[in-house]
Structure 1
């Protein structure tokens, strides 16, 4: 690639970043439904036709923004994990879960966009975007990996009342991940997400002004079920 091509590509990336920055500013100011290509073009001093050379449609811009936000929250959780000297998988999970909550509450509009329902007219593109799917998978993987380490060490507890064979049949794309790990991840994430979403979207404001104790109670419940050492019942990979 020539120097001229490199410069053009760098300029294109800078412009696309600026477009996404304006979109995020709109999101923060007025919510996901406020994102407007026409308004972004106006604020950037561009024509709508010029903007479409960088972003073909609103749904493409929203997907790009969702991808960036998934990466941002993953990096924040990884940084919190890496800053903690305790490398025990359970400790890592708790640290990352707390950082996830901190990030979500500090970035409510952004968290609403990626953890709430997809915007009308955009939802059908979520499953089709490889970059977004990859970013979502990478975010999930940082929580899956410590659980896999617990399973390998014989410390991952069984999930009661879950039919593993039926679950495996419903998840044909779960790949090489042991179904026991998948079960613990999905059930744990469902409970954690439920509390976080209720707090994020104000669904518990009628009952409590501080829902952090509920979040911490869920973390404590998760940690309490994990043995400190391997147990015969939980050893699955021997």
Structure 2
């Protein structure tokens, strides 16, 4: 394929994903279909199949892009702080994670919700998506590695690490991920509405407790 042809193809793929995201924002994950994308682009469904032969391939591609977008947003706020402010950078990224999710509820539902009917375990079957998810996780692990090197991670009983990182860091990451991911998703999808109108105070209290445990 010539460079010109590849550029045209890349532009079309980007247009397809933009159309799919518009459907996602308007109607949620279930609102995405190849026919709807083709309709909104003013092309026939068979023309779209040359780029995405099935819905799951489009969902995989869009979810991968969204993970990259979220990671870049978190990295941007992280990089506003000094490189040696490991606690500050970690907390800034967690805050940005929450902000992004709360302002992108439909996207978060696609990324972190259950797989769409007919899209078979799409979180597990795409190497690009897995890589993007791992890269997102690593931006939180990196300051934890630095804090671990300084002896500042409060971990007692470490789990066996499933990755090439110290067991203490792996354990701390899992605990904090469950804590903040769970809180953010519960807030985003209305599971805290019975208790609080605004979960900001609860979220900040959890951040404060984590910060205090690390500043010792």
| Unmatched segments (≥5 aa) in structure 2 | none
1:51-200 alignment, distance < 5 Å:
51-85=48-82, 87-159=84-156, 162=157, 164=158, 167-168=159-160, 174-200=162-188
Deviation, 1:178, is: 0.5
SS of residue in 2 equivalent to 1:125: coil
Deviation, 1:220, is: 1.1
Instruction: Give the whole-Å Cα distance in 2 for the aligned partners of 1:227 and 1:215.
Output: 19
Q: Which has the larger radius of gyration?
A: 1
Instruction: Give the whole-Å Cα distance in 1 for the aligned partners of 2:189 and 2:120.
Output: 19
1:12-31 alignment, distance < 5 Å:
12-31=9-28
Give the length in aligned residue pairs: 216
SS of residue in 1 equivalent to 2:79: helix
Distance 1:40 1:132, change over 3 A: same
Contact 2:115 2:122 in 1 (8 A): no
Q: Deviations over 1:26-49 (max 9, x none)?
A: 000010001010011111121111
Instruction: Give the whole-Å Cα distance in 1 for the aligned partners of 2:45 and 2:71.
Output: 33
Instruction: Give the whole-Å Cα distance in 1 for the aligned partners of 2:117 and 2:36.
Output: 19
Correspondence for 1:39: 36
Question: What's the C-alpha RMSD, in Å, of the aligned pairs?
Answer: 1.4
Q: TM-score, normalised by structure 2?
A: 0.95
Instruction: Give the whole-Å Cα distance in 2 for the aligned partners of 1:94 and 1:33.
Output: 33
Instruction: Give the whole-Å Cα distance in 2 for the aligned partners of 1:85 and 1:179.
Output: 27
The more displaced of 204-213 and 79-88 is: 79-88
SS of residue in 2 equivalent to 1:126: coil
The more displaced of 30-39 and 77-86 is: 77-86
SS of residue in 2 equivalent to 1:83: coil
